[in-house]
Structure 1
């Protein structure tokens, strides 16, 4: 019997959550507490297997030096982005992976277009780049807080009712451009319920090791929950494409969110058919000479040590 491909093996944890623009998207139809028929113990085994697979793929990705991978993580406060990065990418070589967290834009960043700071952090060939939030924040926070547009120094005549549709068009074109140049884009929206967010905020307040994560601004933004949900739905609906689909990840159970994200990344890398580079004939002949010289050097050293 033929061995199943990774994509087939892991498909149950990928396809149900993949949005590629081929059908209508409604955020409310996606459950935040789904577990894919697994329990936590089974999920942890898949997560552990995916870590090992990811480490192997990353080594080949780095050695081949052709493709790059961009992982985008979006989600409301306490959705689990930081912990997902730590759990999924544990054990891989940091030399070929970089995490960039995008927070409130600095004055210098506001002197440029809204995607500039993200473009400056794109992964180079052979690398995995992880964006903890991204250029999508400028289609999210700025819509929930329209007053922030004034700080972006955009000419007033360009701030119109078509602005968000135009940004979606720019993002789609940008992601198509990256894809055509060898960057595989994997986008994840960590979909958490309002009740689960409440519980996680309480956990942060009760545990000394987590309280540093809490901010009063988190509570302020929580009051705008409905608006954030509506805008995220609009973002996913208008920027999901075949080359850069969104994955709406059920995130009430952190372990299952990690199964979905890790499985998606591993299956995508598997489809790239990554291989270690092969040496050409001339190099192999040269390597044979080097090996012979090293072996003779070792034999000579051992001969000198004999009494």
Structure 2
């Protein structure tokens, strides 16, 4: 099976999505890929247990991708072995009335992981430079004093948003949150096939929305916005990884493997040692408990 090197997917130079593969052959069948992913899941679970005991780091996993790119199933398959206390998934939808009473990053601050835990953002704060950039009229709902019409939303506006996001991620990274961001890179043809399956298979009908087709018409616009967002915000403290997503099992394994190898770099995540008093009295404590038997 093909060896996965996270650096092959990390964005460290200018990204061009049109010249980036949407499919990676792992030279393995689906069963072999699943077996490898199972090993990754087990190791991730042990790291999270250790993180929980260590209580210094939290992990933020950001997932972005076009509709049908496989975010939901990836979350289910990659994180299902982790203790439920240790992972929380947040799916950010259109801001509600309360959220619109605050700045656009507010609701994301509220969902950041506690120390020792993993938070998965299924769609993220990047929607604020993706959907709103394709549909700038949505920005007007935020009631920003300096923005009274779509004409006020210019290149400078988006540059400021990129800067705010970089500052947000730098701040949380410097305070113990490990930030890893993934773009599931799907081809337009594969999306067409997946949308068709939603219509053809009754059990998946509920996933289909006519709005999916309207957004699909803006495919090129979204690709350009993703490129700009990734190129402007992939930093050492919060890197972007672009993962080929035309094959779901491969994408799940690649994302899981990258998360595992990135977390393994933190050698200071370890179980705390017993304090001296407990160490000195272990034999006595054992004797006391055994005596109860």
User: Displacement of 1:13 after TM fit?
Assistant: 4.1
Q: Which whole-Å CA distance do the structure 2 matches of 1:176 and 1:132 have between them?
A: 20
Question: What RMSD over aligned residues (CA atoms) do the two structures have, in Å?
Answer: 1.7
Which residue of the partner structure matches residue 170 of structure 1? 164
Taking structure 1 as the reference length, what is the TM-score of the superposition?
0.90
Taking structure 2 as the reference length, what is the TM-score of the superposition?
0.94
User: Displacement of 1:32 after TM fit?
Assistant: 0.5
Q: Does 1:144 align with 2:134?
A: yes
Residues 236 and 246 of structure 1 are in contact (CA less than 8 Å); yes or no, is this contact kept in structure 2? yes
Which residue of the partner structure matches residue 12 of structure 1? 4
Residues 67 and 184 of structure 1 are in contact (CA less than 8 Å); yes or no, is this contact kept in structure 2? yes
Q: Does 1:196 align with 2:190?
A: yes
Q: Which whole-Å CA distance do the structure 2 matches of 1:150 and 1:168 have between them?
A: 18
Q: Which whole-Å CA distance do the structure 1 matches of 2:231 and 2:131 have between them?
A: 17
Deviations 1:252-279 (A, max 9, x none): 0001111110011101111112321110
User: Displacement of 1:287 after TM fit?
Assistant: 3.8
Q: Which whole-Å CA distance do the structure 2 matches of 1:140 and 1:287 have between them?
A: 57
Which residue of the partner structure matches residue 4 of structure 1? none
Residues 10 and 267 of structure 1 are in contact (CA less than 8 Å); yes or no, is this contact kept in structure 2? no
User: Displacement of 1:184 after TM fit?
Assistant: 0.4
Q: How many residues align?
A: 288
Q: Which whole-Å CA distance do the structure 2 matches of 1:85 and 1:114 have between them?
A: 24
Q: Which whole-Å CA distance do the structure 1 matches of 2:281 and 2:210 have between them?
A: 64
Q: Does 1:184 align with 2:174?
A: no
Residues 189 and 246 of structure 1 are in contact (CA less than 8 Å); yes or no, is this contact kept in structure 2? yes
Q: Secondary structure at the match of 1:185?
A: strand
Q: Secondary structure at the match of 1:84?
A: helix
User: Displacement of 1:25 after TM fit?
Assistant: 1.7
Which residue of the partner structure matches residue 257 of structure 2? 263
Residues 10 and 263 of structure 1 are in contact (CA less than 8 Å); yes or no, is this contact kept in structure 2? no
**CA 1:157–1:147 in 2, change beyond 3 Å: closer, same or farther?**
closer
Which residue of the partner structure matches residue 6 of structure 1? none
